[in-house]
Amino acid sequence: RFDTWLSSHLKLPPSSLLSYSGNYTDDAKSWRLVDITRLTSKYQHDRADKRICTSLLKTKTCSLERALRRTQRFQKWLRAKRLTPDLVQGLSSPMLRCPSQRLLDRIVRRYAEVPDAGSIYMDHLTDRDKLRLLYTLAVNSHPILLQIFPDVEGWPFPRYLGSCGRLVVSASTRPLRDFFGAAPEVAADLALQLLAVLRSMGSNDLNYFFYFTHVDAGTFGVFSNGHLFIRDASTLGIIDKEEGSQLIDGQQEYKDIFSCMTVDCQSAFVSCDSIREKHSLVMVCQELLPKLLAGKFLPPVQEKINIFLQRCAHGLGDERSVDEAIAELAEILKPLRSCDSRFAYRYPDCRYSDKY
């Protein structure tokens, strides 16, 4: 299933694209838009495939499955009854930089690619299932995050619909970059949603702290009803506030072929202890909110917005200052929203409730 994965009969657009639009149905009657997304770029896949074959089997091409099965890490996976921190040490995914046993149990229990999910033990996973899970975690944890924190439970991710080889299918969203030229009331609404999503990722009932290692104009997306979600979770890290990280000293620096699927093997990892609580808010104030809100409002209001964005963007050393700037910004933006059918996710409720 790893060797030839993009069949020509699918008539997909050029292979340089990371994602494609499609239509999906599960009853042959109602169709919905979906995004078909690569785990990573074709260039990175080809580069990783070549590295696997040359480093493990000393050949230019090979069966990736056969090569990866021989690795010391995968042999440990085969013997393991439970997914433990030592089995994911050194993987480049931000989600696994600070793993707790509670988080790893959740991955196994909710892994949607196998029947009989629900147990924290890996007895229901075949050898091939284990390799598929390990490979996905090594290349891009985005589809795993969508499975273990599903939208139906209120998490701000698009619905995971399945995968095939190195392609993942999820509910379609328009990237935030498409809204940088939107009307002022739309920009205000999206900015408030963005701040609310970041607050929920920092404080939630499960006591997981989510943080971004990188954000850009494609990280967030907007559904047709105006609701904003995290479109690309590949740069999302997780710290378990209940259990903390359970990697012992030195395990973060462990490297093998699975550590180098999408990054240079020499890449340095960010320490779990260095992540600040307002880390993601500051990044969004630096990278996204200025582009979304620039030049949208009349001078007195726009000037205030710009001041609070600057305070937030330069506030990593003063987290209280970030909180104050975000609170002030939210108060300015709330009355700038409108209540109409463009915002179907909160309309007509916004007519009758201050909450919306």
Give the model's confidence band at 24: pLDDT under 50 very low, under 70 low, under 90 confident, else very high: confident
CB 304 within 8 A of CB 159: no
Output the average pLDDT for the chain: 89
DSSP per-residue letters across 27-43 = SSS--EEEEEEESS-HH
**Domain limits for position 185:** 174-253+273-352
Query: Averaging pLDDT over each range in 105-114, 115-124, 257-266, which range is the top one?
Result: 105-114
Instruction: Identify whether residues 178 and 167 lie together within a single domain.
Output: no
Q: Tokens 């069949």 label which residue?
A: 7
End residue of a domain, out of 133, 152, 171: 171
The pLDDT confidence band at residue 320, using thresholds 50, 70 and 90, is: confident
The answer to whether the beta carbons of residues 279 and 155 sit under 8 Å apart is: no
If asked whether residues 89 and 182 sit together in one domain, one would say no
User: Does 163 lie in the same domain as 116?
Assistant: yes
Q: Are 339 and 350 in contact (CB under 8 A)?
A: yes
Answer yes or no: is 265 within a domain.
no
Q: What is the pLDDT of residue 268?
A: 65
Sign of torsion, CA 21 45 156 351? Answer: negative
Kindly state whether residues 166 and 29 are assigned to the same domain: yes
- 111 belongs to a structural domain: yes
Which comes out higher in pLDDT, residue 217 or 2?
A: 217
For the cut 70, the answer to whether the pLDDT of residue 3 exceeds it is: no
Name the domain boundary from 151, 171, 191.
171
pLDDT of residue 4: 38
pLDDT of residue 244: 83
Q: Does residue 285 sit in the same domain as residue 336? A: yes
296 with 157, same domain?
no
Task: Evaluate the omega torsion of the peptide bond into residue 348 and state whether it is cis, within 30 degrees of 0.
Answer: yes
Mean pLDDT of all residues in 233-261: 82
**Is position 2 within any domain?**
no
Quick one: pLDDT at residue 87?
96
CA distance 133 to 124: 13
Residue 96 lies in a domain: yes
Does residue 47 belong to any structural domain of this protein? no
Same domain as 209, residue 190: yes
239 and 101 inside one domain: no
- Secondary element (H or E) of residue 238: strand 236-240
Q: What is the pLDDT of residue 164?
A: 85
DSSP 8-state secondary structure symbol assigned to residue 121? B
pLDDT digits (tens, 9 = 90+) for 128-170: 999 999 999 999 999 999 999 999 999 999 999 999 889 999 9
Q: Identify the CA nearest to 229 among candidates 202, 190, 178.
A: 190
| Position 181 in a domain | yes
Q: What's the pLDDT score for residue 292?
A: 98
> Token match 């330069």: residue?
314
Q: What CATH number does the domain containing 313 carry?
A: 1.10.510.10
Asked whether the CA dihedral 271, 272, 276, 280 is positive or negative, the reply is: positive
Return the structure tokens found at 355. Answer: 């909450």
Shared domain for 92 and 109, answered yes or no, is yes
Q: Is residue 128 part of a domain?
A: yes
- What is the band of 295 on the pLDDT scale with cuts at 50, 70, 90? very high
* Whether pLDDT at 8 is above 60: no
**Burial per residue of 301-332, b for 16 or more beta-carbon CB atoms within 10 angstroms, e otherwise:** bbeebeebbebbbebbeeeeebeebbebbeeb
Residue 2 banded pLDDT, cuts 50, 70, 90: very low
Q: Are residues 114 and 214 in the same domain?
A: no
Question: 275 pLDDT exceeds 70?
Answer: yes
State the total domains in the chain: 2
Chain-centroid distance, C-alpha 140: 9
pTM for the full model? 0.89
Looking at the fold, whether 247 and 330 belong to one and the same domain comes out as yes
In a domain, 52, yes or no: no
* Among 133, 149, 171, residue at a domain's last position: 171
Q: Are residues 118 and 159 in the same domain?
A: yes
DSSP symbol at 308 = H
Task: Tell me the average pLDDT across 112-122.
Answer: 88
Q: What is the pLDDT of residue 165?
A: 83
